[in-house]
Amino acid sequence: MKMYINGSIKEFNGVKITATELITQLNLNGKRFAIEKNGEIISKNFLDGVYFNEGDKIEIIGAVGGG
């Protein structure tokens, strides 16, 4: 299945993936981030219960230097 992550198309095996699995695959475990699915923020406490499917638009953000 294909999903849009931070504006880029990414290909994944299967028809769905949990948010926790996605974070692991992206090497983001232990990092500070916030995640949004189709414009809705997903609480860090509920990553296991959220599934991503074909065509979902996912944003994963962090803090960077800025003024």
Partner 1 sequence: MADKIVNKTDDLIIAGRSFQSRLLIGTGKYDSFKETRAAINASQSKIVTVAIRRVNLGQSPDEPSLLEFIPSDEFTYLPNTAGCYSSDEAIRTLRLARELLDGHNLVKLEVLGDPDTLYPNVIETINAAEILIKDGFDVMVYTSDDPIIAKQLEDIGCCAIMPLASLIGSGMGILNPWNLEIIIDKANVPVIVDAGVGTASDATIAMELGCDGVLMNTAIALADNPILMASAMKKAVESGREAFIAGRMDKKLYSASPSSPTKGLIK
Cα–Cα distance measured from residue 20 to residue 65, given in angstroms and rounded to the nearest whole number: 26
Q: Which residues are within 8 A (CB) of 13 and not within 5 positions of it... i.e. 6 or more apart? A: none
Instruction: Return the number of the residue (33 or 55) whose C-beta is nearest partner 1.
Output: 33
* Residue 59: CB minimum distance to partner 1, A: 7
Cα–Cα distance measured from residue 58 to residue 37, given in angstroms and rounded to the nearest whole number: 5
Contact residues for partner 1, defined by CB under 8 A: 5-8, 26-36, 39, 41, 43-44, 59-67
* Residue 46: CB minimum distance to partner 1, A: 11
Copy the structure tokens of residue 36.
């949004």
Instruction: Return the number of the residue (1 or 42) whose C-beta is nearest partner 1.
Output: 42
Contact by Cβ (8 Å): 56, 3 = yes
Instruction: Return the number of the residue (56 or 59) whose C-beta is nearest partner 1.
Output: 59
